[in-house]
């Protein structure tokens, strides 16, 4: 099962990916993590990516596609993969499709964990983190339930920042969702429910 994972920051796609990884042993290919690893290891693509990152520029699509293509040669992807963080635009999706078809590994689904932006704003702005152990709780936790540490709100969980991130996501990803719908690959799941219920729906909708 070859899957592209879509969803706004805070929609809970990380939670759903973790469940799929655990149950089906599909590798979770996060392009952000891969970029950081390639830079750290100093691979040829990593060096190329680093030159853009050092200059404060976005890493070009062909470099990221190179990384993904390289990663898909790994034996662990034979059963399938979950691609997270890429593509982010429909142009990238077209380029990815071309590479995947060269590899003979076309996508089976673009899985969208769909949550209303206002629900996400609520979720993220009520999130609190433990200063001591990093536990993530909510505004209802006066102290950390795990270690008793002090809870605080991360800077990027304030409302203005959250709304900005959601706007950026909306602008770049809305056309991508249309693209996958047009390819008949879009599987949209209502993510505003208990994570276990969402997961049951994910499996059913993917025919797993």
Is residue 130 near Zn ion by the rule CB under 5 A? yes
Which residues, including other chains, have CB under 8 Å from residue 88's CB and lie 6 or more apart?
172, 173, 176
CB of 188 to Zn ion, least distance (A): 36
127 tagged catalytic? yes
DSSP 192: S
Is residue 141 near Zn ion by the rule CB under 5 A? no
163 tagged catalytic? no
Among 123, 135, 195, 201, contact with Zn ion (rule: CB under 5 A):
135
Stretch 143-172 residues interacting with Zn ion (CB under 5 A): 144, 146-147, 149
CB of 137 to Zn ion, least distance (A): 9
CB 100 within 8 A of CB 3: no
CB of 140 to Zn ion, least distance (A): 15
Collapse the DSSP code of 79 into the 3-class scheme (helix H, G, I; strand E, B; otherwise coil) and give the result: coil
- The active-site residue out of 50, 105, 163, 165 is 165
C-alpha–C-alpha distance, residues 59 and 31, integer Å: 11
- The active-site residue out of 131, 154, 181, 204 is 154
146 tagged catalytic? no
181 tagged catalytic? no
C-beta atoms surrounding 179 within 10 Å: 21
CB 154 within 8 A of CB 129: yes
For residue 96, the surrounding DSSP H or E stretch is helix 90-103
Q: Catalytic residue numbers?
A: 13, 88, 127, 154, 165
Which positions lie near Zn ion, rule CB under 5 A? 130, 132-133, 135, 144, 146-147, 149
């Amino acid at each position: 099962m070859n899957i592209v994972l879509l969803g706004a920051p805070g929609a809970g796609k990380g939670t759903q990916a973790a469940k799929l990884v655990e149950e089906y042993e599909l590798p979770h290919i996060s392009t952000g993590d891969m970029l950081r690893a390639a830079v750290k290891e100093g691979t040829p693509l990593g060096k190329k990516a680093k030159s853009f990152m050092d200059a404060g520029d976005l890493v070009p699509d062909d470099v990221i596609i190179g990384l993904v293509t390289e990663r898909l040669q790994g034996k662990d992807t034979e059963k399938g993969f979950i691609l997270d963080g890429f593509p982010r635009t429909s142009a990238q999706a077209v380029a990815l499709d071309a590479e995947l078809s060269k590899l003979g590994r076309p996508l089976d689904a673009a899985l969208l964990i769909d949550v209303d932006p206002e629900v996400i704003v609520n979720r993220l702005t009520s999130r609190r983190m433990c200063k001591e152990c990093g536990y993530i709780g909510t505004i209802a936790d006066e102290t950390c339930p795990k270690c008793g540490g002090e809870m605080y709100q991360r800077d990027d969980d304030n409302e203005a920042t959250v709304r900005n991130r959601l706007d950026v996501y909306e602008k770049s990803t809305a056309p991508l969702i249309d693209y996958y719908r047009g390819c008949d690959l879009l599987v949209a799941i209502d993510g505003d429910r208990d994570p276990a219920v969402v997961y049951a729906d994910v499996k059913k909708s993917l025919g797993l």
